[in-house]
Structure 1
Amino acid sequence: MLTPDDIRRVALDMPEACEEPHFDIASFRVNKKIFCTLHTAEPRIMLKLDPEDRENLLDGDAIQAVPGAWGRHGATFVYYLRLAPERLPALMRLAWANVAPKRLLR
């Protein structure tokens, strides 16, 4: 089972990632752009995915589109207590790559 510490470790393993507060939750950013937020009141993260990637990953249980406009632009809730731990690094990498500068993607 994934914990907030696991989420934090995987997010900060991304090149040039840093943690900054975003209102009352933790956010993980690259080049000042958020790729992940960590919600602990409800055990979930929000990942900024490409909308097409997200549609291919939806499973109705652990991975769900954020309702409304944010979701149409790729914002995705991942309920980390329901997610197989081995899936987290690939999902985090997709979110990071979605906002990372091109120089880091090479």
Structure 2
Amino acid sequence: MVVKEKAKAAEDHTRRVRRICMGMPGCEEKRSHGEPTWFVRKRVFVMFANNHHNDDHVAVWLPTLPGVQVSLIAASPDTYFRPPYVGVKGWVGIELDRVGEEELAAHILEAWKMVAPKSLVK
């Protein structure tokens, strides 16, 4: 029963992230490393992570401006974390159960702005 509940929660979070990401101009969704991933002009701006290597996170990973990752993790370590592989490049992981819709959308928008061509950002 717990497995079904976790799978349902992950599906709900995927739909939530998809709805926000697909509202960004030029966004495309593709599977990458077995998970939904959102791109703008072939550059990743959001990766979904559903219990990646059994880490118990249902989260998104996204790029942040210099210093933001450290600040977010320090302020709320239950919500934000340094994801493997991309964390060294300033990306942050966000626990989807612990972040509201507006806050998640704001983080996704900032990630999109970092990656999107300037012509789309205008």
TM-score, length-normalised on structure 2? 0.76
Q: 2:68 pairs with 23, 31, 53, which one?
A: 53
* Aligned residues between the structures: 105
Distance 1:55 1:90 in 2: 17
Q: 2:16 pairs with 6, 11, 20, which one?
A: 6
Distance 1:50 1:73 in 2: 10
Which AA in structure 2 matches 1:48? P
Unaligned 5+ segments in structure 1 are: none
Moved more, 5-14 or 36-45: 36-45
Which AA in structure 1 matches 2:82? A
Unaligned 5+ segments in structure 2 are: 1-8, 52-56
Relative contact order higher in (CA < 8 Å, ≥ 6 apart): 1
How many Å apart are 1:7 and its aligned residue?
A: 0.8
Which aligned segments of 4 or more residues in structure 1 are displaced greater than 6 angstroms? none
Q: 2:95 pairs with 52, 74, 79, which one?
A: 79
Pick the structure with more helix per residue.
Answer: 2
Cα-to-partner distance string for 1:7-28 (whole Å, 9 max, x where unaligned)? 1110111111110110211110
Q: 2:116 pairs with 86, 100, 105, which one?
A: 100
The answer to whether the 8 Å contact 1:37/1:45 transfers is: yes
Identity across the alignment (%): 25
**Is 1:35–2:31 an aligned residue pair?**
no
Give the 3-state SS of the residue equivalent to 2:99 in structure 1: coil
Which AA in structure 1 matches 2:31? P
Q: Give the greater-gyration-radius structure (CA).
A: 2
